[in-house]
Chain A
Amino acid sequence: MPTIIVDGQEIEIGADERLNCIEAARRAGKEIPHYCWHPGLSVVASCRMCLIETGSRDAATGKITMVPKLVPGCQTPVKDGTVIVTESQLVKDSRARVEEALLIDHPIDCPICDKAGECLLQDYHFQHGQAERRADLHPFTSRRRDVGPTVTLFVDRCIMCTRCVRFTREVSGTAELMVTSRGAKEEIDVFPGHPLDNKLSGNVVDLCPVGALGDKDFLYQQRVWFMKREANVCGGCSAGCSIHTEHNQDTIYRLKPRENPHVNGWWICDEGRYGWHHVHDPARIVAAGRRAPTGGAFTTVEWHDVVGRLRDDLKSAGRLAVAVSPMLTVEEAWMLCAVARSIDPEAFLAVGHVPRQGADETFPGGFTIRGEKCPNRLGVEAVVALFDPAVRSWDDLVTHVRGGKANAVWITAAYPGPWLDEAAAAAFAGLDCLVVQDLFESPLTALATWQLPAAGFAERAGTWVNVAHRAQSFGQAVRPPAGVWPEGRLFWNMLGRRGLYDPDAVRRQVAESSAALVALAGEIPPHGVDLRIAQLA
């Protein structure tokens, strides 16, 4: 195994690993500060913050020879015998000077900057900078430049790391951003008439190590230190990108990509990034309502009463058909099927409506936006297959209902937007009992006997299986609007379970009952597990 020496500490790296000094030092617990380097982008070695001293140890004699100058850690690969020095006076002085240089033209308007609190320029200044400002220059302007529908550029805060420029060239492949002018006058800009409007544009804000690129959706909404972050999975499409939901007091403020080499790398699309606003839509259904058989308005039913009365209504109606929404988690889907079969052992189970919008779209950097706009079709299909190997679809359900084979239908939906029109909903008219569980009122709720609220994205906990069969578990990030029981809690209570809804317990139970889902038995790591690999094993 190759051995490298970081500040005197010997560490081993994998024989086939290609690491640069920043990555190798991190293994030894040493953080080399850097701005321009990003693992998802090409190396330019231009910020010069990661300058370190390196050398090599002769394998035969053990003699260490140092390179007589500073080298950028990002650009320098390590191999057996590489010596890295990150804490010499030379390195410290160099960092202090780079930090000083970057601040010469910086407006230092942290009190009104969105990035304050998660800004590398701030952090590195406190860690590596010098207390005194030696440049008596007054560059304190702060110009704003609109570069696209999602992003604002604060021109003078920029440190010219060019991460954003490289992103639009290498990952989105759209190349809207560029560098204009030269020397200390250079700036980031867009080409005239070509704003930054690609489908991945929000990522440049995440990439920006300072406060230069501001997300218009988030601008001035919340100080970052007030927010908590929950590891989550995006529900916008079947890609299932790993994200962080950042929230404060049950209000979501923004979504950020969470690095996951198996799914999304470092990126998410704008559709997912800004796709959480429905969660806080005041038009959401927030109470369980039941309509009298004679019609009229919904009367609110207390949640503890819902459990029993819903079961009674469905039971008395007779033959039951259930649509298990691909927005539900594996745990919720399994409990729903179990509840349905406990009411009617012959219950017709189908995978709910699968929204689709266009074809999959892959970008030059490899990132793909899926055309299937739900997060868990594969997971729900696997669960439904446990109860009915035929795995019926939404269309099968409609045919089934149109054929008069069901008296009661329970439709789970939880789609973030309108998903069926009046004509399609008409198939469900005239039933003895129609239960609709959705986020918003629709032509379907107009026909419903029961109208139940659904949990929005980030309000549920459980496991989703993405298009590549990767199962990722996540917790509840924010609580639903007051009074709303997420689906899991309702199903848990309808199954007669005691205590609080425990998704982990359900997940383990599902795994025990199914060879296809056995990989869900253990702890699910942050990057998820591949269900197919578990099957092969």
Chain B
Amino acid sequence: MTTASQPVLLEAVGVPDGHTIASYRSRGGYAPLEQVLAGKQPADVIEMVKSSGLRGRGGAGFPTGLKWTFLPKDHPGPIYLCINADESEPGTFNNRILMEDDPHQVLEGIILSSYATRASTAYLYLRYEYPQSWHRLQAAIDEAYAAGYLGKNIRGSGFSLDVYLHRGAAAYICGEETGLIESLEGKRAWPRIKPPFPAIEGLFRKPTVVNNIETMACVAQIARRGVDWFKSIGVPADPNNPRDPGSYGPKLYCLSGHVEKPGCYEAPLGITARQLIDGQGGGVWKGRRAKAVIPGGISMGLMTESELDTPLDFAGPGKVGCLGLGTAAVVVIDDQTSIVDFLHNSCRFFAHESCGQCTPCREGTSWSLRMLERIKAGKGRLRDLDLLAEIGGTMGMMPGSTICGLADGAAWPIKNAIKKFRGEFEDYIKRTNPSGWMVTDPVPALQIVGAH
């Protein structure tokens, strides 16, 4: 049921001064908020978001309305809303576009969501490397305070909300929701063990909802355009799978890599990778063919050329062995690029960004990187591929060996690359290490440590 549509989330892009409150109001912004504050109960807003089928845009795709209902009933407060703008997944820049070009859309979503969850304080955790977003968001927050959309007793409704913009210090792990909470509290961003989940005990040990920037923009648009509009876009739930909540609404796809026209494109959920690359992206660059495509940030793994007709909705990439839709950051890798290089780069990223809390991730990411370095130095062995596959298969939250999902994200590219491109790895190792690729002996004896 995919339908083409005019950009909605990106409607301010290219509009002169589109980031200002005047421009946003001229496009109909903040009117839905005023209606909600004037006549609707928080429960009505939750019901609206629930019935829209909105799923979190941060990566995991958890139904947003359902997440809100996990908050304890009749809690004396405070309840906190944290907005995850620590957009660090390689290849992803949709939040950045929203924050830079239409910050009020995001803010309206934040105010609506805070009203729904009865949060009186919202923290916006912003990635350090986004100075433009920082300036635009702060300006927008100031404008919203001046216009009476933030602060005490908003528009006479009795509802009060303060929004604080917090700049992170540039660590990937702060995008994990409990890592973000720890970082906000001023601690090292080590993800927390769950339970308790943030909805019960989150920021400052109070009930907390953590949502993504794009999710907030979607909430604003649902309030403006209605649930029916939102449900008319995307892929309905699979009637044969009671656990599939469907993939509704528009989605911002970040297209990058070896395409003719990289960029952030709004498309209905469910567009296939091939449609996206050949349509919006203008095809693989220089007339080449794609060798592989990352469906949603490198932690989601790899799709091969033959898998490009997979719909990029919440259920699609999983069917071809990828981790999921993730952030919908589609990165195209052309047929002249080495997958060994890709995996080396991926491993380097995760070894650098592993927070170091859980042993399997801390050591696994580092070991896999050092193995890739050795392979690239012409000292690989076929045996290494089995080891890499074992590391990839056992590291992560899904097998239960780590606290958070960073390890799953680190494992998936390894797992997918070895499984789907094993031939290329074997060729590379045999070619670069003709005398030693077949060795399976144990590694030579230890070097002796000097006295200390």
Q: Give chain A's interface residues, CB within 8 Å of chain B.
A: 43-49, 51, 69-72, 75, 93-94, 97-98, 101-102, 104-105, 107-109, 112, 132-138, 140-144, 159-160, 178-179, 181-186
Contact = CB atoms under 8 A, between A and B. Distances in A.
Contact of A182 (B354, B359, B403, B443): B354
Interface in B374-415: 374, 387, 390, 394, 398-403
Contacts of B193: 43-45, 72, 75
Nearest to A111: B449
B451 A182 contact: no
Contacts of B447: 138, 140
Contacts of B398: 69
Interface string B146-174: 00000000000000000000000001000
B452 A144 contact: yes
B367 A137 contact: yes
A104 B446 contact: no
B443 A186 contact: no
Contacts of A102: 359, 363
A357 to B, nearest CB: 37
Contacts of A75: 193
B363 to A, nearest CB: 4
Contact of A46 (B352, B358, B374): B358
Contacts of A107: 449
Contacts of A136: 374, 443-444
* Interface secondary structure of B, over-half rule: loop
A105 B374 CA distance: 17
Interface in B112-141: none
B90 to A, nearest CB: 16
Nearest to B351: A183
B206 to A, nearest CB: 19
B353 A182 contact: yes
12 contacts: A46-B190, A98-B360, A101-B359, A101-B360, A102-B363, A112-B452, A137-B367, A140-B446, A182-B354, A183-B351, A183-B353, A184-B354
A308 B364 CA distance: 75
A48 B397 CA distance: 11
B171 A112 contact: no
B367 A183 contact: no
Given A135-B367, A184-B362, A112 B451 contact: yes
Nearest to A162: B357
* Interface secondary structure of A, over-half rule: loop
Contacts of B282: none
B287 to A, nearest CB: 40
A47 B359 contact: yes
Contacts of B370: 137
Contacts of B355: 182-183
Contacts of A48: 358-360, 401-402
A7 B452 CA distance: 45
Contacts of B352: 182-183
Given A47-B359, A97-B360, A137-B367, A142 B449 contact: yes
A51 B400 contact: yes
A124 to B, nearest CB: 12
A181 B190 CA distance: 12
B356 interface: yes
A70 B387 contact: no
Given A183-B352, A183-B355, 8 more contacts: A45-B403, A48-B359, A98-B360, A104-B366, A108-B446, A181-B356, A182-B352, A184-B365
A183 B403 contact: no
Q: Considering residues B171, B358, B360, B442, which has the most beta carbons from chain A within 10 angstroms of its beta carbon?
A: B358
B188 interface: yes
A105 B353 contact: no
Contact of A183 (B356, B394, B443): B356
B364 A101 contact: yes
A94 B362 CA distance: 15
Q: Considering residues A109, A137, A183, which has the most beta carbons from chain B within 10 angstroms of its beta carbon?
A: A183
A70 B446 contact: no
A137 B366 CA distance: 11
Contacts of B402: 48
Given A182-B355, A184-B351, A69 B400 contact: yes
Nearest to B442: A132
Contacts of B364: 101
Nearest to A52: B400
Instruction: Please name the 10 residue pairs, one residue from A and one from B, whose CB atoms are nearest each other, closest first.
Output: A184-B366, A70-B400, A101-B363, A69-B400, A136-B443, A183-B354, A186-B356, A46-B357, A109-B449, A45-B193
B449 to A, nearest CB: 5
Given A101-B364, A142-B452, A134 B359 contact: no
Contacts of B399: 69-70
Nearest to A135: B367
Nearest to A104: B363
B191 to A, nearest CB: 10
A183 B362 contact: yes
Interface in B413-452: 442-444, 446-449, 451-452
A49 B360 CA distance: 10
A46 B359 contact: yes
Nearest to A132: B442
B398 to A, nearest CB: 7
Contacts of A108: 446, 449
A182 B387 contact: no
A144 B451 CA distance: 11
B405 to A, nearest CB: 13
Given A44-B193, A75-B193, A179-B188, A186 B362 contact: yes
A339 to B, nearest CB: 56
B356 A179 contact: yes
B10 to A, nearest CB: 35
B443 A133 contact: yes
A44 B187 CA distance: 14
Contacts of A101: 359-360, 362-364, 367
A75 B444 CA distance: 39
A104 B367 contact: yes
Nearest to A53: B400
A405 B443 CA distance: 85
Contact of A133 (B353, B356, B442, B451): B442
Contacts of A142: 449, 452
B359 A159 contact: yes
A20 to B, nearest CB: 12
B393 to A, nearest CB: 11
A381 B267 CA distance: 86
Given A132-B442, A182-B171, A71 B366 contact: no
B400 A98 contact: no
B436 to A, nearest CB: 11
A278 to B, nearest CB: 32
A132 B387 CA distance: 13
Nearest to B366: A184
A157 to B, nearest CB: 11
B223 to A, nearest CB: 39
Given A94-B401, A97-B394, A184 B359 contact: no
Contact of B359 (A98, A141, A179): A98
Interface in B34-83: none
Nearest to A105: B363
B394 to A, nearest CB: 6
Interface string B327-362: 000000000000000000000000111111111101
Nearest to A156: B449
Q: Considering residues B171, B359, B367, B390, which has the most beta carbons from chain A within 10 angstroms of its beta carbon?
A: B359
A192 B449 CA distance: 29
Q: Considering residues B171, B360, B399, B400, which has the most beta carbons from chain A within 10 angstroms of its beta carbon?
A: B400
Contacts of A183: 351-356, 362, 365-366
Nearest to A160: B356
Contacts of A134: 387, 442-443
A46 B403 contact: yes
A55 to B, nearest CB: 13
Contacts of B171: 182
A70 B370 CA distance: 27
